[in-house]
């Protein structure tokens, strides 16, 4: 009889505990829904601090609730608190790595925050599981580019380009990949495609000009530099210097005219003066070349190469005696210059 009473007591206790647990579970669920509703209402009313408070309260009652976390992440996105939004999506994909809503959001936000390794890891996962993510190939290609894996960057950006040929960022990124791979003509082709869709983009025109300069195609470089100028690019020192250097290769007068604008802001700049002197030398205007090289030396008497070139220019002009004297003087100051005498070109 005693055992029977004990058994009945245990059964009643279990029922009470079960009811209490069930009741508590329902209460938590109701509380979560209540605070989620309040959070949404506050969000719609733009009472942002209240909304955040209610989202946090909802999670206190049900920390695992995906709906709350997704809504909370969306709230943070609206507030441009991308790191906090990312945390909410990360919580979800840690439990469900292929969540069809949270995973694309996590990838996009990681890309926005330049977290390249996260984009690569989860972007590859999305592709493997056929989870659609807008511009995923661009984000992967750009991320691989930033991680200096140019082969994979090219693979994904080429795929993205085939899907969205007018997407400017893809075209530019693919062009930069080609530059890193020294495929300059391919890079130029990509930038020209981008210009067709963006005919006023002076930055692209300038990039093309720089690429032509790298290949010593200075006439084409000037063409695109001038187009960039017409479209409104800021003609700062770097721009004028690149334009002037390109002109020097085939139009010394114009090149000097442009570079003089740089010299107004950087008087006595040795690099620019040397480039101008070398241009005159290559154009066989040896008298002017001599004067400029000697001026460079006078401005800096440690620049023995400029003194040597002043002598060479005189020799080329026909004044071998004075030219040789200047060369000998330079070699006496810097014996290493003697090896230049045996070279066919001293430039």
List the domains of the chain with CATH numbers: 28-134 (1.25.40.10), 269-347 (1.25.40.10)
What is the reported pLDDT for 34?
Answer: 78
Q: Is the pLDDT of residue 51 over 80?
A: no
DSSP assignment of 135-174 equals: THHHHHHHHHHHTT-HHHHHHHHHHHHHH-TT-HHHHHHH
Q: Is the pLDDT of residue 273 over 60?
A: yes
DSSP assignment of 233-259 equals: ----HHHHHHHHHHHHTT-HHHHHHHH
What is the reported pLDDT for 343?
Answer: 59
Neighbouring CB atoms inside 10 A of 279's CB total 25
Q: Is the pLDDT of residue 19 over 90?
A: no
Tens of pLDDT, residues 104-146 = 999 999 999 999 999 999 999 999 999 999 999 999 999 999 9
* CA–CA dist 284, 316 (Å, integer): 8
What is the reported pLDDT for 78?
Answer: 86
- Give me the mean pLDDT over the 264-284 stretch: 90
Q: Is the pLDDT of residue 172 over 60?
A: yes
Q: Is the pLDDT of residue 3 over 60?
A: no
- Give me the mean pLDDT over the 23-47 stretch: 65
Tens of pLDDT, residues 223-237 = 999 999 999 999 999
Q: Is the pLDDT of residue 168 over 90?
A: no
What is the reported pLDDT for 38?
Answer: 65
What one-character DSSP code corresponds to residue 134? T
Under the banding of pLDDT at 50, 70 and 90, the label for residue 194 is confident
Under the banding of pLDDT at 50, 70 and 90, the label for residue 323 is very high
Q: Which long-range contacts (CB under 8 A, 24 or more apart) does 237-245 make?
A: 237/262, 237/265, 237/266, 239/206, 241/272, 242/209, 242/210, 242/213, 243/209, 244/272, 245/213, 245/275
For residues 330 and 38, the model is more confident at 330
* CA–CA dist 24, 158 (Å, integer): 55
């Amino acid at each position: 009889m005693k055992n029977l009473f004990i058994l009945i007591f245990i059964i009643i206790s279990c029922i009470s505990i079960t009811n209490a647990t069930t009741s508590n579970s329902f209460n938590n669920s109701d509380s979560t829904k209540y605070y989620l509703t309040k959070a949404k209402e506050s969000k719609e009313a733009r009472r942002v601090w209240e909304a955040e408070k209610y989202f946090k309260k909802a999670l206190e009652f049900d920390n695992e609730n995906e709906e709350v976390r997704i809504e909370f992440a969306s709230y943070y996105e609206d507030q441009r608190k991308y790191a906090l939004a990312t945390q909410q999506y990360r919580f979800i994909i840690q439990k469900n790595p292929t969540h069809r809503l949270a995973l694309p959001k996590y990838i996009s936000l990681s890309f926005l925050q330049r977290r390249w390794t996260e984009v690569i890891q989860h972007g590859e996962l999305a592709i493997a599981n056929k989870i659609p993510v807008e511009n995923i190939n661009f984000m992967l290609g750009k991320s691989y580019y930033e991680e200096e894996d140019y082969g994979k960057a090219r693979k994904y950006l080429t795929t993205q380009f085939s899907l969205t040929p007018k997407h400017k960022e893809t075209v530019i990124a693919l062009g930069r990949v080609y530059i890193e791979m020294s495929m300059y003509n391919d890079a130029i082709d990509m930038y020209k495609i981008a210009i067709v869709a963006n005919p006023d983009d002076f930055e692209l025109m300038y990039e093309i000009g720089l690429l032509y300069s790298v290949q010593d195609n200075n006439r084409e470089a000037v063409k695109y530099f001038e187009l960039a100028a017409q479209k409104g690019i800021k003609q700062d020192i770097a721009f004028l210097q690149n334009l002037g250097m390109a002109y020097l290769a085939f139009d010394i007068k114009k090149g000097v005219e442009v570079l003089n604008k740089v010299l107004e802001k950087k008087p006595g700049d040795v690099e620019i003066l040397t480039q101008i002197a070398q241009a005159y030398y290559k154009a066989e205007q040896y008298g002017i070349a001599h004067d400029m090289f000697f001026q460079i030396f006078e401005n800096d008497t440690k620049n023995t190469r400029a003194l040597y070139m002043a002598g060479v220019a005189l020799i080329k002009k026909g004044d071998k005696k004075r030219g040789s004297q200047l060369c000998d003087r330079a070699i006496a100051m810097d014996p290493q210059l003697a090896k230049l005498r045996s070279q066919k070109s001293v430039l």
